[in-house]
Chains A and B, each alone.
Chain A
Amino acid sequence: MTGAPLTAAALLAAALATVGIGFYGIRLSRTTSDFLVASRSIGPHWNAAAISGEYLSAASFLGVAGLIAKYGADALWYPVGFTAGYLGLLLFVAAPLRRSGAYTVPDFAEFRLGSARLRKVAMVVVVVICSFYLVPQYQGAGLALKTLLGLPVWLGPVAVGGIVIINVVGGGMRSITFVQAFQYWLKLTAIAVPALALLVPFIRDGANLDGPLPPTVRQQTTVTVETDVVVQVAEPAGIVVTGDVDGVHLQHATFPAPGRYVLAHGTTLTLAAGSATPVVAGAPSAGSDWLASGRGLGGTHPLYQVLSIIIATFLGTMGLPHVLVRFYTNPDGRAARRTALAVIALLSLFYLFPTLLGVFARQFVPQLLITGTADAAVLLLPSAAIGGPAGAALAALVAAGAIAAFLATSSGLLVSIAGALSTDVLRGRVRDFRVAALIGGAVPIPLALLASSLELSRTVGLAFAVAASTLCPLLVLGIWWRGLTIVGAAWGLAVGGVASGVATTLAITGGIDDGLLGGWPAAVVGYPAAVTVPLAFLTMVAVSRLTASSRPPDVASIFARMHVPERLGMGIERLPRG
């Protein structure tokens, strides 16, 4: 690859810039309030760009395009849901949460229900959500380093995990708002410029993505299978295979007929120019299937999958700790609302481009569909479609954007983990923060290595499902329903957290066989939100009703504080101890 040194330099520059900015930012923060909530003085526009900068992770930058390239129309629900989540946050959470004066979600739990033990339960949930969210970031790093530089896949999670841990242990990365705001514009540039540049060859070549056949490769392409894979061959002409196919060793042979074949690892396929790409089993093979809605994302019960994705992403955003903490930096509830609205606009703009790249990937790099690692599409597209120095430069830009995306997001997540652990479990000293950061950053690394078969956006979707089944009901019921009790909230968090957490762990570590009981167990484990979110809400309401006698006595004044506009002077800012 001719662009490798350029790409490596871009990766290094982006990583160094992120770490350097983290250290620089920490020097500008003086007081505890500066550190945690930027003294609550950030206006809606800056804050919205900062939230988007921290929010757009590897899943958005790489995962959305990959998922669209692989599964087509139904994958479009992920970017829609990632954006619509902020509408849910705006409607139900933003202003009252800001007015509560709490500075983290566990602090809100203590403010609303007055229980230090519930605060601890909420803290555990925060750590679990952030850990699950870290998994796809590390996974994306492994994929990017492997795709761009040919490094072994375990190295990425270890390297990025190491950088993030050093960064957070060394200084913290609650960097100043303008840096995170800048991150948004950097990521937008790194994805928009290649997408717009690729629009030209896409329109010029005018490939037909419809029809009964899968996409065709444009020049002779050789693909080596690295893990055993089942592929769907629609048109055997032009494909030469060497290796173990269905357990039989073949040497320079062709597939005898269209159908399903098991390719062992080490198998090489050579596709002549213009031949139709085999497609990994489970993904739509024919172009017309890819274009049509209602085919789901592999597996059975597509309508259930889509419904569950909608529930997880629409409700999950309001339970993401690293996003919520930025809403506390607004001066008042009105600014919090305007911030959420501006985030919707910024994300709508961003997600146009991964969608375009997903479509382009089907034309320019269809060979990714053989192994199913379509998450690499964004990284490979510029050099495949444009080539030459321009392609190499665009590839380096994309690589820099990608590494910035997962470093920024994972630093933010790790600060949330370390902050929650050190103030609520340990004694809140700087040393405790560092120990917590070390543990919190290291635990997701093995999970990321196990999860490499699951697409990035799907792994993030699972983290959203956990958030939607735990913190979402706590916040929504806590803000709008006077009947919530400590016991009810704790039971809801426990039931929702265990149900969605077990499903997520199962899905990440391998999932459940599709053939079992008509595919329902596999569908529920892979997309748990449609079951676990109603379950968590019901548990919280039912147990609260049973323990109605233990409602906090001062609930009226707490409600007044959350809902009455600041002008009436009801608000009290809470600050951490110490």
Chain B
Amino acid sequence: MTSGRPQRERVILANRRGARVIRTRIEVQEQTQVGDALVRGLVRAQLGLALRLAAVILCTVAAIPLAMGMFPDLSAVGVLGVRLNWLILAVAVYPVLYGVGRLYVRLAEQGERDFVRVVDGEP
């Protein structure tokens, strides 16, 4: 249905990027009010991300001893002759740790890219 329409094009009359880069960078570097607000936003975003992922791990990990304590029958369940509690603690927990770490690295780097984009005024 789009066959009849011409492709959209972006037309730039004047590139005002240079001026803005310098201004915002200097604002961050010299800690003006705007720059400080930008850094505060970045710190808050990164801390929020770290805390949320730490909460995920804590809830998962704390749930294991509590669940085993409350339902002792649970740990008697076996898979291929290995008890569930051993399977979780000796094997399954490690990929979870790595996965959460990987997710954090990806999201934290994305947050930093967004920050640099705002500062450098790229669209």
Which residues of A line the B interface, CB within 8 A? 73, 76-77, 79-80, 83-84, 86-88, 90-92, 95, 291-294, 303, 306-307, 310, 334, 337-338, 340-341, 344-345, 348, 351-352, 355, 480, 556-557, 559-560, 563-565, 567-570
- Asked if A91 and B85 make an inter-chain contact with CB atoms under 8 angstroms apart, the answer reads no
Say which residue of A76, A292, A480, A568 sits within 8 Å of B72 (CB atoms): A292
CA distance A306 to B65 in the complex (A): 8
List the 6 closest pairs (A to B, CB-CB), nearest first. A348-B94, A293-B68, A76-B89, A91-B50, A293-B85, A565-B112
| B34 adjacent to chain A (CB < 8 Å) | no
A–B complex contacts, Cβ < 8 Å, 27 sampled: A76-B86, A77-B89, A87-B57, A87-B101, A88-B54, A91-B104, A95-B108, A291-B85, A291-B86, A292-B72, A293-B68, A293-B89, A294-B68, A294-B69, A303-B65, A306-B65, A310-B61, A337-B104, A344-B97, A345-B98, A351-B94, A352-B91, A480-B43, A557-B31, A560-B35, A568-B28, A568-B116
Say which residue of A307, A344, A345 sits within 8 Å of B65 (CB atoms): A307
Say which residue of B64, B100, B109, B115 sits within 8 Å of A564 (CB atoms): B115
CA distance A90 to B119 in the complex (A): 25
Question: Can you name the residue of chain B whose Cβ is closest to the Cβ of A351?
Answer: B94
Which residues of B52-110 have CB atoms within 8 Å of chain A's CB atoms?
53-54, 57, 61-62, 64-65, 68-69, 72, 75-76, 83, 85-86, 89-91, 93-95, 97-98, 100-102, 104-105, 108-109
Question: Can you name the residue of chain A whose Cβ is closest to the Cβ of B98?
Answer: A344
CA distance A556 to B61 in the complex (A): 36
Q: A293-B69, A560-B28 are in contact. List 14 more A-B contacts (CB 8 A).
A: A73-B86, A90-B104, A91-B104, A292-B76, A293-B65, A293-B68, A303-B65, A337-B108, A340-B101, A348-B95, A556-B31, A560-B31, A565-B112, A568-B28
- Asked if A334 and B31 make an inter-chain contact with CB atoms under 8 angstroms apart, the answer reads no
User: Closest approach, in angstroms, between the C-beta of A219 and any C-beta of chain B?
Assistant: 26
CA distance A294 to B72 in the complex (A): 9
Say which residue of B42, B89, B109 sits within 8 Å of A334 (CB atoms): B109
Measured between beta carbons, the chain A residues less than 8 angstroms from B47 are: 480
Measured between beta carbons, the chain B residues less than 8 angstroms from A80 are: 61, 89, 93-94
- Asked if B65 and A87 make an inter-chain contact with CB atoms under 8 angstroms apart, the answer reads no
- Asked if A84 and B75 make an inter-chain contact with CB atoms under 8 angstroms apart, the answer reads no
Say which residue of B83, B91, B101, B112 sits within 8 Å of A344 (CB atoms): B101
Measured between beta carbons, the chain B residues less than 8 angstroms from A560 are: 28-29, 31, 35-36, 39
User: Closest approach, in angstroms, between the C-beta of B16 and any C-beta of chain A?
Assistant: 20
Measured between beta carbons, the chain A residues less than 8 angstroms from B95 are: 348
Measured between beta carbons, the chain A residues less than 8 angstroms from B43 are: 480, 559, 563
Q: In the complex, which of the residues A95, A564, A569 has the most CB atoms of chain B within 10 Å of its own CB atom?
A: A564
- Asked if A569 and B108 make an inter-chain contact with CB atoms under 8 angstroms apart, the answer reads no
Measured between beta carbons, the chain B residues less than 8 angstroms from A564 are: 28, 39, 42, 115
CA distance A418 to B118 in the complex (A): 45
CA distance A90 to B53 in the complex (A): 11
CA distance A92 to B51 in the complex (A): 9
Q: In the complex, which of the residues B25, B100, B112 has the most CB atoms of chain A within 10 Å of its own CB atom?
A: B112
Asked, given contacts A91-B50, A337-B108, A560-B31, whether A83 binds B42 with beta carbons under 8 Å apart, the answer is no
B23-44 vs A, Cβ < 8 Å mask (1 yes, 0 no):
0010011010001100110110
Measured between beta carbons, the chain B residues less than 8 angstroms from A351 are: 94
Measured between beta carbons, the chain B residues less than 8 angstroms from A87 are: 57, 97, 100-101
CA distance A508 to B67 in the complex (A): 32
Q: In the complex, which of the residues B39, B61, B64 has the most CB atoms of chain A within 10 Å of its own CB atom?
A: B39
Asked, given contacts A84-B57, A294-B69, A560-B31, whether A352 binds B90 with beta carbons under 8 Å apart, the answer is yes
Question: Can you name the residue of chain A whose Cβ is closest to the Cβ of B74?
Answer: A293
Measured between beta carbons, the chain B residues less than 8 angstroms from A76 are: 86, 89-90
- Asked if A341 and B89 make an inter-chain contact with CB atoms under 8 angstroms apart, the answer reads no
Question: Can you name the residue of chain B whose Cβ is closest to the Cβ of A77?
Answer: B89
Measured between beta carbons, the chain B residues less than 8 angstroms from A307 are: 62, 65
